[in-house]
Chains A and B, each alone.
Chain A
Amino acid sequence: MFHRQQTTRTGSRYPAIGIACLLVAAYGAFTSGPTTIRAQQPSGPAVVPKGAQPLLIAVSQVSGDVTYTRRVNNRTRVRTVTLASKLQAGDTVHMDVGARCLLLFRNAGKAAANLAPAFDAIRPIAFRPEAPATDGDGVVAAVLLRGYSEASIAMAFERNQAATIQIDMPQGVARAGVVPTAIKPRFRIRSPRTVVAVRGTEIRELEISVDRGDILSMGRTGVVAANVRSGLYRSAQSEQGTRKGTGTDRRSSRLVRAIMDLTIRTRVVLAGPHKGRIEFDQAKRESRDAQSFGKGDRLKPNGNPKFQNFINSNKPNDGTGRADSTGGGGGGGGDGTIDGDGG
């Protein structure tokens, strides 16, 4: 009797549980599937902070099959990118293999003045009495996408004369240039593994791929710094590169590139009479800056009475180094003679 009652009770429970499981499985089967572009889109257009002006994103060059998607009224709209396309924050650019697309980020004030740069046209030379504008017709940054790329423009606005641009790229190849301003712009390209930031100059090439990882090639100037658990350390100098693999990173590091272009350009380095400023090898800059003061610095005239006495003594320089007071080993490898001290 007891067994018979138990059988009846379990029989009445199983259909309800089975139906519930069936419903869940059916819903999962119908709703799951390959990830579509709809699922990758942000929930809505990017929100511009208060007091900020959105940047205008113009397409300067395009070749190949390039489209962009935009969320409009909870629907995904797909459009082909042309030279007349005006992108905005929240759009995602999809490119085919072999395609190219150059995006220009311009501030709204300059863009309203119809100063679109014509790269393919020959401009007449205009002699202006005033100095040319340094803001490049309002262009704040430029991004060149090549090959198969997916680039989502997460942020593009200007606030307090500082531009903030962020591009999320799961895959692709990008080159970027940022116009340096007094208030440093904030330009970032994010990949699933890496955050690359630029301050005031360029990314020569950033390749984001699933097989080789993120490969960053450096421009003519700048440094690469890796921000890991142990802190920020330099990993590469100019004309070099760095790479972050696709494997599991136990250090959970982020790669941050910080280019102090303004600092480098305002630095005055006197390497010699035969080398001008533009010929100075920036890659060797650190080794030159790291030099400490040597014994030859005592030859400097400022506040050195022995040097003043020696200069005013009318004694010929015999090249022996004057070991009594100014003995050998100048900072620049001098041999102790006076003219060997380059300062």
Chain B
Amino acid sequence: MTTRMNGPLAIAACGLLAVSLTAGGQNARRDQADARLPASVTVSRKPRAKIIDGYRAMARLARQHGRIDRQLDVDEMSFADLRSTLVREGVVDDGWGFIPMAGLKRDVLAYMAASYLDIRPGLLTSIFGMTRRYSYREMHHRGLMVQGQPRQVVSGSELLSVLTRVAAEVDRRDPDRQ
């Protein structure tokens, strides 16, 4: 029985090797093609957006709007640099201790979007600052985000949809940009 197994095993090993080499070459070409696309295209295919995806997309939007230095290579920045840049812009709370690979929740995204748009509704919010919970409720009220669980992790596509609405809101406030 051992003798009979050698033949199929050799064929299987050769097949696996050929398949892996072929697929590896295809993946290399795919990666090469995808690398030239905007970074948001890769984000849009993710079923779960990460914190670093949200930070990077927000920084990219801020660079597009000229709020941070246009020469900054946002795609190559480290997480710590991204965080410090966004903290300086007031988009990210300084007390947040998220790890880069954590899921991006809706309330976190709402806080970043509301802070970017400088939305501070209400007296208490204007005095004590915005919280993630009320940021999400305010963004939902303004139609920038959909109703749902605040702690739900957004998909990459939803992240880009919200940021697109944020960009549209910035354009609406400043018609000269259009």
Contact = CB atoms under 8 A, between A and B. Distances in A.
Interface of A: 8, 11-12, 15-16, 19, 22-23, 26-27, 30-31, 33-38, 64-67, 69, 75-76, 78, 94-100, 146-150, 171-173, 209-212
A98 B34 CA distance: 20
A22 B11 CA distance: 12
Given A65-B38, A97-B60, A172-B164, 11 more contacts: A12-B4, A19-B9, A22-B16, A26-B16, A30-B22, A36-B30, A37-B41, A95-B38, A98-B60, A147-B167, A148-B160
27 contacts: A8-B1, A16-B8, A19-B8, A23-B15, A27-B23, A30-B19, A30-B20, A30-B23, A33-B27, A35-B45, A67-B37, A69-B33, A94-B41, A98-B61, A100-B178, A146-B168, A147-B163, A148-B40, A150-B41, A150-B44, A173-B164, A209-B158, A209-B164, A210-B161, A211-B146, A211-B158, A211-B162
B157 interface: yes
B36 interface: yes
A85 to B, nearest CB: 14
Given A15-B5, A171-B157, A210-B158, A96 B39 contact: yes
Given A23-B12, A148-B164, A78 B39 contact: no
Contact of A148 (B12, B24, B36, B163): B163
A148 B167 CA distance: 10
A171 B8 contact: no
A67 B163 CA distance: 19
Contact of B164 (A31, A34, A66, A147): A147
Q: Residue among B4, B19, B37, B171 with the most chain A CB within 10 A? A: B37
A99 B168 CA distance: 10
A98 B64 contact: yes
Q: Residue among B29, B30, B178 with the most chain A CB within 10 A? A: B30
Interface string B131-156: 00000000000010110000000010
Contacts of A98: 60-61, 64-65, 163, 167
Contacts of B46: 34
A64 B157 contact: no
Contacts of B29: 38, 75
B161 A209 contact: yes
A76 B32 CA distance: 10
B51 interface: no
A162 B178 CA distance: 31
Contacts of A36: 30-31, 33-34
Contacts of B5: 15
Contacts of A16: 8
Nearest to B158: A211
Interface string B115-130: 0000000000000000
A105 B57 CA distance: 31
Contacts of A75: 29
Contacts of B12: 19, 22-23
B60 A11 contact: no
A301 to B, nearest CB: 54
- 8 smallest CB-CB distances across A and B, nearest first, come from A147-B164, A30-B23, A98-B64, A96-B38, A209-B161, A78-B36, A148-B160, A36-B30
A210 B161 CA distance: 8
A23 B16 contact: yes
Q: Residue among B23, B29, B178 with the most chain A CB within 10 A? A: B23
A13 to B, nearest CB: 11
Contacts of B60: 96-98
B172 to A, nearest CB: 11
A26 B31 CA distance: 20
Nearest to A20: B12
Interface string B41-65: 1101110000000000100110011
Contacts of B45: 34-35
Contacts of A171: 44, 157, 160-161
A69 B37 contact: yes
Nearest to B32: A78
A11 B64 CA distance: 65
Contacts of A150: 41, 44
Contact of B8 (A15, A30, A37, A211): A15
